[in-house]
């Protein structure tokens, strides 16, 4: 797949693709998983990327769009493919099939 197809897969996998924070959060945690690092270690090495959980007060819509674009445009294709896989996996985990577990 090329970069544009992977980016489209990422946006298609997001639950709220119109919400910049939701897209950034999915891409951020997809990148954390793709880099195979614990979240705290990732935050130490990639301190320029604010965490959607811990640094949410720093993130407005424009900042989320800028950071998401930066990640998507600067990541290697193999990392981008792993991010797309993770975002699709997150979407499957969040899917409510309507059945109660009880």
Position 6 scores a pLDDT of 93
pLDDT confidence of 29, banded at 50, 70, 90?
very high
User: Of 64, 62, 37, 70, whose CA–CA distance to 52 is shortest?
Assistant: 64
Position 90 scores a pLDDT of 82
Better-predicted residue by pLDDT, 67 or 16: 67
Residue 50 has pLDDT above 60, yes or no: yes
DSSP 3-state percent helix, strand, coil across the chain (nearest 5): 65, 0, 35
Q: What's the Cα-to-Cα distance from 39 to each of 22, 34, 71, rounded to whole Å?
A: 18, 11, 17
Position 10 scores a pLDDT of 92
Alpha-carbon Rg for the chain in angstroms: 14
pLDDT tens sequence across 68-102: 999 999 999 999 999 999 998 888 876 655 554 45
pTM of the predicted model, to two decimals?
A: 0.84
């Amino acid at each position: 797949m090329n970069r544009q197809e992977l980016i489209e897969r990422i946006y298609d996998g997001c639950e709220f693709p119109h919400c910049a924070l939701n897209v950034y959060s999915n891409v951020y945690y997809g990148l954390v998983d793709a880099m195979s690092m614990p979240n705290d270690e990732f935050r130490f090495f990639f301190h320029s990327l604010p965490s959607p959980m811990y640094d949410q007060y720093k993130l407005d819509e424009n900042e989320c769009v800028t950071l998401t674009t930066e990640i998507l445009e600067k990541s290697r294709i193999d990392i981008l493919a792993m991010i797309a896989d993770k975002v699709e996996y997150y979407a499957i985990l969040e899917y409510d099939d309507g059945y109660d577990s009880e």
